[in-house]
Amino acid sequence: MTPTLLGRWQIRIFLLATVGLLISFLVALSIGGNYQVPLLALLYVLLFGLAWDVLYQVITSYRWDRDWPTCYQVAAGVIEGALVWALILTNKLPGIPEPPRFIVFLIQYGAIWLSIFLLTQGPLRIFWMNWRYQGGQWFVSRRVQTAENSYQQPVPAPQFVGGYTPVTPPQVLLTSNPERRQILGDRAGLQPLQPYTCACGFAFDRAAGNFCPRCGRLRMQQEVS
C-alpha cells in the first residue's frame, strides 16, 4: 500500500478515536478516575501526530516504494512518544498543569501504539481490503472516484488481420491433436490456419511462431531441408 496524506490522517484519527479512546478510559480508571490528563494526553498525541504525518509524507516521497519499513515505524513511534512526553514536562500544555507519572504515560502510549500497529499490520488489511488500495483512506470523495473511472477505457475486441488473430490462446497453440485444435480454435473465434507438422509429430501454425513449441526446431529450416 502506498499511503497518501489524507489516508494517514484518516487512519490516525479513526484508530485514536476508537482504540485510543478505549485504552485511555481504562488507564483513567486505573489511576482513580482522573479522566482529564489521559484524555488530553491522547488529544495532544493526535494533534502532534497529524503534524508528523506531513513530515512522514515528505520523507517517504524520496523512497522508491513511498512507505516506511517496519523498523522505521517503530522508531517513529518512539520519537513521537518522546516528543509528547518532553512537551508535557514543560508544563506549558493547556489542561495539564502537572505531568503525570512516567509509568502511567508509558503504559497508555505504549498500549495505544502497539494496538494500532498490530491492527494496521493484520486485521485492517484482511477485513478492509479496499482500504489498502485507496492509499489508506476510509472515505474517498466522489470527485476522485469519478476521475479514476474516467481513465478506464473499454478494451477493443481483437480484430482479424490477414487471416490471423493478434493473440492466440495457449491451449490452442500447445495442442497437438488437429481436431482438438480446430474445436478450440472455433470456440476462441479463430479463423482456420494451415497447420504444420514438425518432425517430432507436433502440429502448429504460423501463429505459434517459427519454432516448434515441443522440440524447439526451426520450422523454416525443416521445410528447406
What is the DSSP code string of 108-120? Answer: HHHHHHHHHHHHH
Does 188 lie in the same domain as 130?
no
Domain extent for 143: 5-150
Does 136 lie in the same domain as 62?
yes
Does 146 lie in the same domain as 174?
no
Does 139 lie in the same domain as 182?
no
Q: Is residue 79 part of a domain?
A: yes
Does 178 lie in the same domain as 100?
no
Does 93 lie in the same domain as 16?
yes
Does 140 lie in the same domain as 37?
yes
pLDDT in tens, 10-27: 889 999 999 999 999 999
pLDDT in tens, 160-174: 444 444 444 544 444
- Residue 167 grid coordinates: 493473440
Chain centroid to Cα 3, Å, comes to 8
Distance CA 218, CA 149 (A): 46
Of 122, 150, 178, at which residue does a domain stop? 150
Q: Is residue 72 part of a domain?
A: yes
Q: Is residue 217 part of a domain?
A: yes
pLDDT in tens, 65-85: 777 788 888 999 999 999 999
Q: Is residue 204 part of a domain?
A: yes
Tell if the pTM clears 0.85, that is, is over it: no
Q: Is residue 35 part of a domain?
A: yes
- Total domains in the fold of the chain: 2
Q: Is residue 156 part of a domain?
A: no
From the list 42, 48, 47, the residue with the least C-alpha distance to 28 is 42
Does 71 lie in the same domain as 100?
yes
